[in-house]
Amino acid sequence: MELKRTSHAVYDTKYHLVWAPKYRKWILRGNIRERVKSISASVIFEEHPEVKKELWGGEFWEDGYFARTVGDKVTAEVIRKYIRYHHEEEKFPKQLKLF
């Protein structure tokens, strides 16, 4: 796990993104499903004219998308360590002394 650090935060964020075909049509089937990972929608329209009929507006992807942060590293033990660490920090703050 590679943690990102800023001056006031430490974080590790992963995202699960989902794009849907226009009109939420069930277009991603068979060869089309395999091809859309690496080519543009215009090629799909060219190779599969039946898709063009279903997506009559000429756009392949829906304007919206779904996004959610995900992670499998946050266990009960990780949370306990986090709480212990911050509990100790409260007892013995690392603050500079002026005098």
* Residue 44: count of CB within 10 angstroms of its CB: 21
Question: What CATH number corresponds to the domain at position 42?
Answer: 3.30.70.1290
Decide if 56 is inside a domain.
yes
Decide if 5 is inside a domain.
no
Decide if 3 is inside a domain.
no
**Burial letters 1-31, b for 16+ CB under 10 A, else e:** eeeeeeeeeeeeeeeeeeeebbeeeebbeee
Decide if 4 is inside a domain.
no
User: Per residue in 1-30, pLDDT tens?
Assistant: 678 888 888 887 777 777 778 887 888 778
User: Per residue in 36-56, pLDDT tens?
Assistant: 775 678 888 888 888 888 888
Range of the domain at 73: 11-91
The answer to whether the pTM exceeds 0.85 is no
Decide if 1 is inside a domain.
no
